[in-house]
Amino acid sequence: MSSGEKEFDPLAYQRGSIWSHDNFLVIRSLIRADFRREAEAVAAGVMKALTSIGSFPEYYSADARGSLIPQEKLRIRPCDPQAWTVGTFIFIKNNFPSLKA
């Protein structure tokens, strides 16, 4: 959901959170459509977040400046680790090995 939407709430479970699995679908689709540079940009953002968090949460969130919000401040604490987040991480590492983890 766009931060410009009135319902946007970065602390909410599904109204502003970022899901690695959703980004996996975006990355995979961009690769298939031959937008590899764009896919790598999305992948780099996911890797940066996961590296900063230091684990594989179900979802995470960021404030308007792009700074990660600590998991304990989210209204619903994400499952951690989450298998689909680990799968996204593995997919990114396999497709973009130069990205730092």
Q: What is the DSSP letter of 95?
A: H
DSSP 30-49: HHHTT-HHHHHHHHHHHHHH
Q: Do the domain assignments include residue 42?
A: yes
Q: Do the domain assignments include residue 51?
A: yes
Note the pLDDT of residue 64: 80
Q: Do the domain assignments include residue 12?
A: no
Give residue 27's domain range.
20-95
Q: Do the domain assignments include residue 5?
A: no
Q: Do the domain assignments include residue 3?
A: no
Q: Do the domain assignments include residue 52?
A: yes
Residues 55-96 pLDDT 10s: 999 999 998 888 999 999 999 999 999 999 999 999 999 999
Q: Do the domain assignments include residue 54?
A: yes
Note the pLDDT of residue 84: 95
Q: Do the domain assignments include residue 101?
A: no
Report the C-alpha gap between 45 and 49 in whole angstroms.
Answer: 6
Count of domains observed in the chain: 1
Largest CA distance in the chain: 38
Note the pLDDT of residue 4: 85
Report the C-alpha gap between 14 and 19 in whole angstroms.
Answer: 9
Note the pLDDT of residue 50: 96
Q: What is the DSSP letter of 71?
A: G
What number of other Cβ atoms are within 10 A of residue 2's Cβ? 7
